[in-house]
């Protein structure tokens, strides 16, 4: 008899514990703050990471938000009504999840990237007219005296072309115009186009290294770090770049390693959801390196082509930046080498942008530059000066706030837009 009573008690306790866990899972936010050791969980749709320890390959770096650990002593036996209510709540929540999944918005199909710059050229023409048209009209003057050449020089300097490239260009133009003798507008345009394209250097490799490393086992996605100071358009660029990659047929995982700006992870996740790219994120103010590590791990698990990691860009001290970015890169490289480090620069910041660029270049090996906000400035010459200063090509340019307003950089199309 005693055995029977004991068995009944154990069965009731087991049912109660199971009901309690269901409620814990569904109503985590309503529960009081945890008292005991946090329980490790890995929610399927939102990964969070351990903020302190440096993860290792093969290690599970993702841990969930602290959650209760319930002991048998904590469990008060529910009544039949409570158990039924818990089951009903579970059914309702499941039904809500199914409805949510069914109501999920259709994925967007981003615009193809080929020829984007040509399509967006009016954005450039609007802001860069002063440079292109100004140069053409000065070179068309009847007499090209010293004052005119000085005006040409000033125009180039005002557009942020930089001192050395400006002098080089003026020198070459002077020689070629002299050889040309009489100048028709078409000849001048052709000559100027040629020289400006040469200044931007069409021989630089502007391709993005985004192909999965299929030669490795397991295949490892290409890893891109997106770096830059806050406000330059880094998160927006990461989102737009995910679209560029999806448009070109790649599968993408996003890593929200900008854990210092509260809205950045949400912003990135929204960009990702629009094109079906999963975003790996961590707790606010958590360790960016762990998020980056987990993003690559997720990319490997999904067999993704590319993992795009948005990093934080606090620049108050160079040492802080160096420590943080250095750590992100080091930790990610436990999976394998980083394929691209893209520096995002705001074209409207001129010289200030160049100073930032140099600081970043000292911390990480930049492989490409993304110049944003070229739609809002007449200083397109920064393309030339930043490439010269860093010895790294501009690979993408931002031409507006729209989702597909990021274009692969093409020197010829860029110069054509400048010249109108």
Rule CB under 6 A: is residue 236 a binding residue for ligand GDP? yes
Site for ligand GDP in 214-233 (CB under 6 A): 228, 230-233
Q: Using CB under 6 A, which of 20, 255, 272, 398 touches ligand GDP? A: 398
In the complex, which residue's CB is closest to ligand GDP?
398
Residue 408 Cβ vs ligand GDP, minimum distance, rounded to whole Å: 14
Stretch that binds ligand GDP, among 56-64, 206-214, 356-364, 397-405 (CB under 6 A): 397-405
Rule CB under 6 A: is residue 272 a binding residue for ligand GDP? no
Stretch that binds ligand GDP, among 102-110, 137-145, 399-407, 411-419 (CB under 6 A): 399-407
Rule CB under 6 A: is residue 288 a binding residue for ligand GDP? no
Stretch that binds ligand GDP, among 199-207, 246-254, 372-380, 381-389 (CB under 6 A): 372-380
Residue 70 Cβ vs ligand GDP, minimum distance, rounded to whole Å: 40
Residue 180 Cβ vs ligand GDP, minimum distance, rounded to whole Å: 37
Of 48 and 311, nearer to ligand GDP (C-beta) is 311
Q: Using CB under 6 A, which of 212, 250, 297, 373 touches ligand GDP? A: 373
Of 373 and 379, nearer to ligand GDP (C-beta) is 373
Q: Using CB under 6 A, which of 51, 66, 350, 376 touches ligand GDP? A: 376
Secondary structure, 3-state, the chain: CHHHHHHHHHHHHHHHHHHHHHHHHHCHHHCCCCCCCCCCCCCCCCCCECCCCCCCCCCCCECCCCCCCCCHHHCCCCCHHHHHHHHHHHHHHHHHHHHHHHCCCCCCCCCCCCCHHHHCHHHHHHHHHHHHHHHHHHHCCCCCCHHHHHHHHHHHHHCCCCHHHHHHHHHHHHHHHHHHCCCCHHHHHHHHHHHHHHHHCCCCCCCCCCCCECCCCCCECEEEEEECCCCCCHHHHHHHHHHHHHHCCCCEEEEEECCCCCCHHHHHHHHHHHHCCEEEECCCCCCHHHHHHHHHHHHHHHCCCEEEEEECCCCCCHHHHHHHHHHHHHHHCCCCCCCEEEEEEEHHHCHHHHHHHHHHHHHCCCCEEEEECHHHCCCCCHHHHHHHHHCCCEEEEECCCCCCCEEECCHHHHHHHHHC
Rule CB under 6 A: is residue 260 a binding residue for ligand GDP? no
Rule CB under 6 A: is residue 162 a binding residue for ligand GDP? no
- Upper half-sphere CA count for residue 352 (Cβ side, 13 Å): 8
Of 135 and 343, nearer to ligand GDP (C-beta) is 343
Rule CB under 6 A: is residue 235 a binding residue for ligand GDP? yes
Stretch that binds ligand GDP, among 114-122, 234-242, 295-303, 378-386 (CB under 6 A): 234-242
Of 90 and 315, nearer to ligand GDP (C-beta) is 315
- The residues of the shown chain that bind ligand GDP, judged by CB under 6 A, are 228, 230-236, 372-373, 375-376, 398-401, 405
């Amino acid at each position: 008899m005693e055995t029977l009573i004991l068995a009944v008690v154990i069965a009731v306790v087991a049912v109660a514990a199971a009901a309690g866990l269901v409620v814990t899972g569904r109503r985590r936010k309503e529960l009081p703050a945890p008292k005991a050791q946090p329980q490790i969980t890995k929610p399927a749709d939102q990964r969070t990471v351990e903020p302190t320890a440096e993860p290792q390959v093969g290690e599970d770096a993702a841990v969930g938000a602290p959650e209760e650990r319930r002991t048998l002593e904590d469990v008060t036996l529910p009544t039949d009504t409570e158990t039924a209510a818990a089951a009903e709540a579970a059914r309702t929540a499941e039904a809500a999840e199914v409805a949510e999944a069914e109501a999920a918005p259709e994925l967007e199909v981003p615009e193809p990237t080929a020829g984007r710059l040509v399509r967006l050229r009016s954005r450039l023409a609007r802001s860069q007219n002063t440079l292109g048209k100004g140069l053409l009209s000065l070179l068309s003057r009847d007499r090209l005296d010293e004052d005119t050449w000085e005006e040409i020089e000033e125009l180039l300097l005002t557009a942020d072309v930089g001192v050395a490239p400006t002098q080089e260009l003026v020198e070459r133009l002077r020689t070629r115009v002299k050889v040309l003798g009489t100048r028709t507008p078409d000849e001048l345009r052709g000559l100027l186009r040629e020289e400006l394209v040469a200044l931007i250097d069409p021989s630089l490799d502007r391709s993005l290294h985004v192909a999965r490393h299929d030669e490795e086992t397991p295949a490892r996605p290409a890893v891109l770090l997106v770096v830059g100071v806050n406000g330059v358009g880094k998160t927006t660029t990461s989102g737009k770049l995910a679209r560029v990659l999806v448009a070109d047929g790649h599968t993408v995982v996003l890593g929200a390693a900008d854990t210092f700006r509260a809205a950045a992870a949400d912003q990135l996740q929204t960009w990702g959801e629009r094109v079906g790219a999963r975003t790996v994120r961590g707790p606010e103010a958590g360790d960016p390196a762990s998020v980056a590590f987990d993003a690559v791990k997720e990319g490997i698990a999904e067999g993704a082509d590319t993992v795009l990691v948005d990093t934080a860009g606090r620049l108050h001290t160079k040492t802080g930046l160096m420590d943080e970015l250095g750590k992100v890169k080091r930790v990610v490289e436990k999976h394998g080498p980083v394929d691209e480090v893209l520096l995002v620069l705001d074209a409207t910041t001129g010289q200030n942008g160049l100073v930032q660029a140099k600081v970043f270049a000292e911390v990480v090996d930049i492989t490409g530059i993304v110049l944003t906000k070229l739609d809002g400035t007449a200083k397109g010459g920064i393309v030339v000066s930043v490439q010269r200063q860093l010895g790294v090509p501009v690979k993408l340019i931002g031409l507006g706030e729209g989702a597909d307003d990021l274009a692969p950089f093409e020197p010829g199309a860029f110069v054509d837009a400048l010249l109108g």
